[in-house]
Chain A
Amino acid sequence: MSGGNPDVVIIGAGIVGAAIAERLSAERLKVIVVEADCAGSGATAAGMGHVVVMDDSEAQFALTAYSRRLWQEKEACWPKAAEYRRPGTLWVAADAEEFAAVEHKHAWYGAHGVQSEILTAGDLAREEPQLRPGLAGALRVPEDMVVYPPAAARWLVERARRQGAVYMQGARVEHTTGSVVTLASGTVLHTGGVIHAAGAQGGHLPVTIPVAPRKGHLAITDRAPGFLRHQIVELGYLKSAHGHETESVACNLQPRATGQVLIGSSRQYGVHTAAVELPMLHRMLRRALEYMPGLAGLPVVRTWTGFRAATPDGLPLIGRAPQCEGLWLATGHEGLGITTSLATAELLAAQMLGREAAIPAEPYSPSRFGEKSAHA
């Protein structure tokens, strides 16, 4: 970046901020990224890195399907550390009722141009022998992917820097408007615009946004190559992830490139401390064991938590912040931020540059919640 004020300051170098920095710097905008910790250290590090097409609403589908395509288009670019692979997803049905949902999901994906196939109970047992017997079947979505999110975020930041972006690590934002960003160090940045991409951390904003932290736990086992082949998600996940209970768990298992098994997931509202909570971890692991009893033989080597940025309607906030000229939002991605990061960057760039985007941006517009959420 040569002299003069930046065109934009991006607050947060998680996967979303990093993707935006990469995209806008490619457009020759002068970009500064300010990150309080290090790239990919927040919700990004607590995401499983499951790049998945979701069908719970047309808008969610449009964003996830578009973004999965963008991940795929970058396939050749990702460094080895990003562990980009395509194991596919198995949506596992425990009983006949859930198997009916498999058939519905299959038809829905088919009508929307997403490849999927129905696995019978027998197929499922052959594909994933570690699953408990007696499950009803599954839907396989073969093109879903898995990445290692912090490494992907770091690479996006690195690429943004090569394109001229300035990256300020360890720079905490004290306060921001749409044109002035004040850092805790006392440094004041004057800028053409500000993008809030700091997930659920919005204390520096001049307006209140409808985003709440939703805590999640993860656990990872020692290496056990071949134990598991697909990302395995119980169909009940859709109920627990998108319901609004205060606490829920679902079986969500992922084979890492190292042969480790990453185990999720839990969701909690109203908790603001990052400590691993043993009762919650216990519930989550019990749920995983119900589906895959053999996991009990694998030592868990790490457990950790993070905070997803949840919105009232489960869709992210991408676009201009109401009531604050110059401020843009790219947050509220909840549990789909890794998947939807690249599409978020495209949509935001299109809006900022006055171009047409590949998919309609209205469903994600922050103004959909009206003016009442605008002022702090």
Chain B
Amino acid sequence: MPEPVTIILNGERRPVAAGSSVAAALLTMGVAARRSVSGEERSAVCGMGICEECRVMVDGRAGVRGCLVTCRDGMEVRTNG
């Protein structure tokens, strides 16, 4: 197993498996990517860029589909972003 990388999730340092997508990392940690209009927690459904349910903020950029981005060391991820 390669060494884990560390992302900064909502301000907290969290180790994740190297090569994980952001969506996979969030699912592994049990953290929802976003909340729906009615306040329900949402996470990746399709994992391939179609469903738009895993949108998060990555390094200050809003609306990024977590399933299409691979975790990098020091990457800042914000849910509900």
On B, residues with C-beta under 8 Å from A are 37, 52, 55, 63
Write the nearest CB–CB distance from A85 to chain B, whole angstroms: 14
Tell me, in angstroms, the Cα distance from A49 to B37 when the chains sit together. 19
Closest 3 CB pairs of A and B: A301-B52, A299-B63, A258-B37
Q: Give A43 to B55 CA distance when docked, in angstroms.
A: 29
Taking A258-B37, A299-B63 as given, write out 9 further A-B residue pairs in contact, using a Cβ cutoff of 8 Å, ordered by the A residue number: A222-B52, A222-B55, A222-B63, A223-B37, A299-B52, A299-B55, A301-B52, A301-B55, A302-B52
Residue of B nearest to A260 (CB): B37
Residues in A whose Cβ lies below 8 Å from that of B52: 222, 299, 301-302
* Chain B residues with CB under 8 A of A258: 37
Chain A at the B interface: mostly helix, strand, loop or mixed?
A: loop
A residues in contact with B37, CB < 8 Å: 223, 258
Question: Which residues of A (276-320) have their CB < 8 Å from a CB of B?
Answer: 299, 301-302
Least Cβ–Cβ distance between B64 and chain A, in angstroms: 9
Query: What is the number of contacts between chain A and chain B, taking CB atoms within 8 Å?
Result: 11
Task: List B contacts of A222 (CB < 8 A).
Answer: 52, 55, 63
Residues of B within 8 A of A302 (CB): 52
Residue positions of A touching B, CB distance < 8 A: 222-223, 258, 299, 301-302
> Can you list 11 A-B contacts (CB < 8 A)?
A222-B52, A222-B55, A222-B63, A223-B37, A258-B37, A299-B52, A299-B55, A299-B63, A301-B52, A301-B55, A302-B52
CB closest chain-B residue, reference A223: B37
Cα A301 to Cα B55 in complex, Å, equals 10
Which of chain B's residues have a CB closer than 8 A to the CB of A301?
A: 52, 55
Cα(A129)–Cα(B52), bound, Å: 28
- Closest Cβ–Cβ distance, residue A299 to chain B (whole Å): 4
Please measure, in the bound complex, the distance between the C-alpha atom of A258 and the C-alpha atom of B39, giving whole angstroms. Answer: 12
A299 / chain B contacts, CB cutoff of 8 Å: 52, 55, 63
Q: Please measure, in the bound complex, the distance between the C-alpha atom of A302 and the C-alpha atom of B55, giving whole angstroms.
A: 13
In the docked arrangement, what's the CA distance between A3 and B37, Å? 43
Q: How far is the CB of B80 from chain A (nearest CB, A)?
A: 11
Docked Cα-Cα span, A222 to B64, in Å, equals 11
Considering the chains assembled together, what is the distance between the CA atoms of A301 and B37 in angstroms? 14
CB distance from A302 to the nearest CB of B (A): 7
Chain A residue with the shortest CB-CB distance to B36: A258
A258 to B52, CA, bound (A): 16
Interfacial chain A residues near B63, Cβ < 8 Å = 222, 299
Task: Give Cα A334 to B63, complex, Å.
Answer: 34
Distance in Å: Cβ of B48 to nearest Cβ of chain A: 15
Instruction: State the CA gap A302–B53 with chains docked (Å).
Output: 11
A223 to B55, CA, bound (A): 12
User: How many angstroms from the CA of A223 to the CA of B42 in the assembled complex?
Assistant: 15
Give the complex CA separation of A222 and B37 in angstroms: 11
Measured in the bound complex, the distance between the Cα atoms of B52 and A223 in whole Å is 12
- Complex CA distance for A222 and B34, rounded to whole angstroms: 12
Inter-chain contacts of B55 with A (CB < 8 A): 222, 299, 301
Distance in Å: Cβ of B20 to nearest Cβ of chain A = 23
Measured in the bound complex, the distance between the Cα atoms of B63 and A258 in whole Å is 16
> Separation in Å of the B44 CB from the closest CB of chain A?
14
CB-nearest residue of chain A to B65: A299
CB distance from A255 to the nearest CB of B (A): 14
A299 to B55, CA, bound (A): 10
Determine the distance from Cα of A302 to Cα of B37 in the docked complex, in whole angstroms: 15
Distance between Cα atoms of A223 and B37 in the complex (Å)? 9
Closest residue of chain B to A259 (Cβ to Cβ) is B37
Once bound together, how far apart are the Cα atoms of A302 and B51, in whole Å? 8
Would you give the shortest CB distance from B53 to chain A, in whole angstroms? Answer: 9
Q: Give the one of B52, B55, B63 with max A CB within 10 A.
A: B63
Question: Which residue on A lies nearest to B53, using beta carbons?
Answer: A301
Contacts of A223 in B (CB 8 A): 37
Complex Cα–Cα for A223 and B34 (A)? 12
Shortest beta-carbon distance from A84 to chain B in Å: 16
Closest Cβ of chain B: how far from A262's Cβ, in Å? 14
Alpha-carbon distance between A354 and B55 when the two chains are bound, in angstroms: 56
